[in-house]
Structure 1
Amino acid sequence: MSRLNYQAARFLTSAPTLAKCPSDTGAEVAFAGRSNAGKSSAINVMTRQKALARTSKTPGRTQMINFFTLGDDTERRLVDLPGYGFAKVPDAVKMEWQRHLSDYLQRRTSLRGLVLLMDVRHPLTEFDQTMLGWADEQDMPVHILLTKADKLKSGAAKNALQQVRSQLREWEDLVSIQLFSSLKKQGIEELHSRLDDWLESTAPTD
């Protein structure tokens, strides 16, 4: 049973740049993933809300950093980072998104951890490797959700999980990995447990 009430999550604000983000206090966890990785669906399922994070038939619509509070507790936040990859936007726009993502991940002191979502059938893309590189530079813990696990049979999904674990063995002190399915509501409790660990401490980590 989760210690924090994720069902109470509600939208706080959207920020186009680090400078426009809310006050850098308390603790927050950011969600990132390529624009077809099912990030919005995962956020909605884990908060048991249908439309907290916007889902779209057109991947890559989220171009802002979106902040959600856990009810009235503004010191604990979930953050939906821009996704890109399949988005039909100019390269210059993608570079701008990447710069803002980098600024946020490298300079946001209240950030406690990164949830990185990857389609279980196509893990460790160039985007994923970039995010892991930024996290490694900042000594930032990462929890990987291998999403759309329902698209594979159980054995194949477990094999994919083991393959990703093997490929990231050098980062095992920073990275944890699980299977997740928004459709089947698989893996929600495990995700909640990880978020609880990160968000319960609002004091800065060393």
Structure 2
Amino acid sequence: MAIDDLLDEHEQSEKVRGWLQKNALSLIGGVALGLGLIGGWQWWQKRTQDERSSTSARYAETVKAIGTDLNKAKTSVAGLPVGSEYAALASLQLAKAQVDAGKRDDAIATLRGIKTEDPGIAGTVSQRLARLLTDAGKPKEALQLLADANDAGGLEAKGDAYVALAQHDAAREAYARALTLLDAGSADRRLLELKLTDAGGSPSKPGGKT
């Protein structure tokens, strides 16, 4: 090997050694940071899993209480994480049990307290609350809840509120629109047709024939 080549290798080694010495702290800090991030992520995953398991167990206890003790169930629902699907679903079940027990006002309060970002759950809550409000003599408030309703269930609840207000033209329109969204074999279709008839309308046969 030529002397020049040996000198070049020596110079390169010195440059590498110098760079390492100059940047040693940065390298060590970067490795430590990386290890810290990995450890933190693992800790977060374990904590999240533990919280989910704990919430799931509390949800199961709540559902069991709904079938035996409504007061205990109400307290248990309040202990579930606000805004979680567990809390929303448990509240829906609690409200149904309260209605079955003849406690309509309690059910209204339960439904009003539900907070959810799930559009499906939110729609169900609005429909059930609107029906209870109409039954409680508050159809105008029910209509406010259903202002943007465009599904069969929401339109039917809207029609019920209009009937309570003796606004039969609007009720017929809501019922008729709801029927167009139901399949011919839907179990809900017959009741909706009866409501439309009672409101002075004439149900159309599937396919548009009367």
**Band of TM-score, shorter chain:** under 0.3
- The TM-score normalised by the length of structure 2 is 0.27
**Larger helix proportion, structure 1 or 2?**
2
**Larger strand proportion, structure 1 or 2?**
1
- The TM-score normalised by the length of structure 1 is 0.27
Instruction: Report which structure shows greater RCO (CA 8 Å, sep ≥6).
Output: 1
